[in-house]
Amino acid sequence: MLLINIVRNTIALALSIALMSCGRTKNSSISSADDKVSELISQMTLEEKLGQMLQVDPGVYSSTIDLEKAIADGKIGSLLNIIGAQKVNRLQKIAIEQSRLHIPLIVGRDVIHGFRTIMPIPLGMAATWDTTIVKRAMEVAATEARAAGVHWTFAPMIDISRDARWGRIAESCGEDTYLTSVMTNAMVKGFQGDEITNHSVAACAKHYVGYGAAEGGRDYNTTNISEYYLRNIYLPPFKTAVDAGALTFMSAFNSLNGVPASGNAHTIRDILKTEWQFDGFVVSDWASVKDMVTHGYCETDADAAQAGINAGVDMEMSSDCYIQNAAKLIKDGKLKMSQIDDAVRRILKVKATLGLFEHPYTNESLAEKNTLTLQNLAVAQQAAEKSAVLLKNDGILPLKNNMKVALIGPLANAAHDQMGTWVFDGNKADSRTLKMALESTPGISVKYAAGLQYSRDEDESGFAEARRTAANADVCVLALGEESILSGEAHCLAKLVLQGHQQQLFETLKATGKPVVVVIMAGRPLAISKIVSKANAVLYAFHPGTMAGPALANLLYGIAIPEGRLPLTFVVDEGQIPLYYNYENTCRPAPENNPTSLKTIPVEAVQYSLGNSSFYLDYGSKPLFPFGYGLSYTTFEYRTLQLSSEKINTNSRLTVKCNITNTGQTRGTETVQLYLRDRVASFIRPIKELRGFQKITLNPGEQKEVAFNISAKDLGFYSPNGAFLVEPGAFDVWIGPNAEEGLKSSFAFE
């Protein structure tokens, strides 16, 4: 009888936690949920608490230990990499019905850019510069994932990435802190919803922190980031994630200034949890707690557990240092029970917020209804259309319906590879390729020849047919790029040129004399200067996802007008890396009008005109394309930059505005960008920084005034100790179409 009452009371308690906390934001509800979680914690044994702090992958774990028994014994709080409502429900039922305190499992999965309906890779999503479509795309991903029993995605990945050799640049939003922060907000809100519902998944801001600065672009590598750079470049997107309500964070694999990110009390406990007051929980990356032994930072698994818990990593993914060692560490006085309780409180709170106490099970009929729907596919197509960046066009695009098209190239019919990296649940059978899209469009004449079978292919035996096909056509559409396997985790490259014999395929088609339109699908910005110089048009699509084909076909024929803008700098050659727009001036900066390289100007002239300045003799200092760059099928003119005042102070605002006119023949969307520069400060500031952007759509001849408000917070920066400084002095301001062009003025902050 006593036992039954305890069980009833616990279920009632669990239910009331859910009712008090799920999706509610009122303070009274929050504190009441906190009280209930505390009550539940007071009933837990240490072993049950450590169970909540463990996340296992059944595929790996079940081979050594009885998974179901461990769940029934309350020794596991979370699973990853299990999907399917029925499968998840079966294990959830064990947690709810057989574990002593009936605490639900939370199930995580890498839903990075879509679940079944695959959206463009995150780098492509960032290239949309469109928060509405990004949020909507993540809502779709969340709805599909939740219907398959997933409660929690390990996304967004918001590591600033300035090195395209790093394979995980594909998963990032690129090189810019401001753009990444804006995208972070949209992605977190998309995954979680403005309010948590049973369509939401918890977001996980990762990888905290600095992972994108891996030395040499080699994954998992050392990062050395000064506190000044950490505060100003790498941390702000994570702060945005906290402000957007991200329920969880993931600690990174890399070492940061000599300390593993997963054992870093400074970044996790001091900055994230204390300074920013983050109330959710931190999960380690895959075995990154145990990896502190491999790093040579900890001698034993017990030391690693101590370092992880001390740093504030609340849940251990995949390895089991905590559950094996924490009890003894507490007994020996090396850890405090209050640290364990704090971690468990955070984890239970997130479970409650997701409504898992109240609704632990997934409705098994939802997946079919919610997955790969026409609406979801339409969102994926729209995202793919908005993410493609037109880099060059001599007027050949948009194609005319009466042109005979030769469709060639290894990416023209790559159902799997067009989806990009981190696609666990997407299915190539659902993908629509460019070949499928063009061949099924009525009234268009298309002939296809692969030329090369895949991007690394060096076999030129298909070239003759490709040439013949091109010779019989009016225009050649050549789909080049990289297979999905060439980017992503642990898939880094030393060279950024097109792999295999793709350049040769391009040259052979060019030699036919037919115009060549190149479409590139890739997980990173490739070094494509040799294509750009000779192609008639270049459309850079990143990996566009399930709906790549229809999206690209619409763009090629002008049914959709290109509006993507680069979320990072394109280098001429990888030897220039790192090359990013918001660099700090050196004491000997390269002059504004410096030549691209020795190849374009005689040596003596370079030496004479540049003197001692910061540039490469062979590649100059300019990128192939700057950050923010992208063309349309129309043109835009920027005129009359006006400032509402020449001065600003802490209490005032400045409005800067500009007239933009569509000077071409077709409707188009322009991304109007605002950049600022603090000319002199107590720390050297970047030569310019993005501080705002607006997308506007104009009909031919139409003009619009675009205004940005600037206040003191837009002018400041963080000192190494985290103080936000806004210093008096002169500031430059630009409104323009990318980081290298624009109208410029200046004002003073007093």
Residue ranges in contact with ligand BGC by CB under 6 A: 110, 154, 206, 285-286, 489
Nearer to ligand BGC (CB atom), residue 154 or residue 619: 154
- 550 three-class SS: helix
Which residues in 329-340 are b (16+ Cβ under 10 Å) and which e? Answer: bbeeebbeeebb
Minimum distance of ligand BGC from residue 292's CB (angstroms):
15
38's CB contacts (< 8 A; 6+ apart) are 345
**Smallest gap, in angstroms, from Cβ of residue 250 to ligand BGC?**
6
- Nearest distance from residue 522's CB to ligand BGC, in Å? 20
* Cβ neighbours of 383 (radius 10 Å): 28
Q: Which residue is nearest to ligand BGC (CB)?
A: 154
Of 210 and 549, nearer to ligand BGC (C-beta) is: 210
Distance, CA of 86 to CA of 76 (rounded, Å)? 19
Q: How far is the CB of 252 from ligand BGC (least distance, A)?
A: 8
Instruction: Indicate the residue among 154 and 734 with the shorter CB distance to ligand BGC.
Output: 154
Smallest distance from ligand BGC to CB 112, Å? 8
Q: Least distance to ligand BGC from the beta carbon of 227, Å?
A: 25
Output 250 or 531, the one with its CB closest to ligand BGC. Answer: 250
For residue 224, the Cα-to-chain-centroid distance in whole angstroms is 22
Residue 248 or 499 having the CB closest to ligand BGC: 248
Residue 431's nearest CA partner among 521, 562, 566 is: 521
CB of 180 to ligand BGC, least distance (A): 16
End-to-end CA distance of the chain: 74
Q: Are 162 and 581 in contact (CB under 8 A)?
A: no
Closest approach of ligand BGC to the CB of residue 169, in Å: 13
Tokens 């089991």, residue located? 320
Which residue type, as a one-letter code, is found at position 162? R
The interaxial angle of helices 27-43 and 337-353, nearest 10 deg, is 130
Q: Are 92 and 104 in contact (CB under 8 A)?
A: yes
Residue pair 666/634 in contact by the 8 Å Cβ criterion? yes
Rounded Cα–Cα distance for residues 374 and 353 (Å)? 30
Spatial contact of 675 and 688, defined as CB atoms under 8 Å apart: yes
Residue type (1 letter), 140: V
Residue 378 has, within 13 A of its CA and on its CB side, a CA count of 3
Amino acid at 211: Y
Pairing state between β 668-678 and 689-698: antiparallel
Residue 251 or 621: which CB sits closer to ligand BGC? Answer: 251
Dihedral sign for Cα 254, 255, 260, 262, please.
Answer: negative
Q: Smallest distance from the beta carbon of 122 to ligand BGC, in angstroms?
A: 12
DSSP 600-636: GS-HHHHHHHH-S-S-BTTTBS--SB-TT--B-SS-E
Nearer to ligand BGC, 314 or 358 (CB): 314
Q: Do the strands 475-481 and 404-408 form a parallel or antiparallel pair, or are they unpaired? A: parallel
Task: Using the minimum distance from each CB to ligand BGC, give the nearer residue, 249 or 675.
Answer: 249
Q: What's the token pair of residue 553?
A: 């076909």
What distance in Å separates the CA atoms of residue 147 and residue 144, rounded to the nearest whole number?
Answer: 5
Phi, psi dihedrals of residue 26, rounded to the nearest 5°: -65, 140
Residue 151 contacts residue 358 (beta carbons within 8 Å): no
Peptide bond into 156 cis (omega under 30): yes
User: How far is it, in rounded angstroms, from Cα 359 to Cα 299?
Assistant: 42
Amino acid at 82: I
Q: Provide the CB-side half-sphere exposure for 8 (13 A, CA).
A: 5
- Say how far apart CA 609 and CA 611 lie, in whole Å: 6
- Cβ–Cβ < 8 Å for 251, 271: no
CB of 488 to ligand BGC, least distance (A): 10
Residue closer to ligand BGC by CB (options 222, 445) is 222
The least CB distance from residue 288 to ligand BGC, in Å, is 8
* Beta-carbon contacts of residue 685 (< 8 Å; ≥ 6 apart): 584, 677, 678, 679, 717
Q: Which of 176, 285, 425, 714 is catalytic?
A: 285
Shortest Å distance, C-beta 111 to ligand BGC: 10
Of 71 and 155, nearer to ligand BGC (C-beta) is 155
DSSP state of 596: S
**What distance in Å separates the CA atoms of residue 321 and residue 459, rounded to the nearest whole number?**
49
The 3-state DSSP class for residue 57 equals coil
What are the strands, taking DSSP E only, across 218-364? 248-251, 255-256, 259-260, 281-284, 316-317
CA distance 396 to 516: 9
Cβ proximity to ligand BGC, 153 vs 634, nearer residue: 153
E strand segments, 380-419: 389-393, 404-408
Give the residue with the Cβ less far from ligand BGC, 154 or 625. Answer: 154
The nearer residue to ligand BGC, 206 or 510, going by C-beta atoms, is 206
Taking the complex as a whole, the smallest distance from the CB of residue 147 to ligand BGC amounts, in Å, to 20
| Phi and psi based region of residue 595 (left: phi greater than 0; alpha: psi -120 to 50; beta: remaining) | beta
Concerning whether 279 is annotated as a catalytic residue, the answer is: no
Q: What are phi and psi of 20, to 5 degrees?
A: -75, -30
Q: Which residues are catalytic?
A: 285
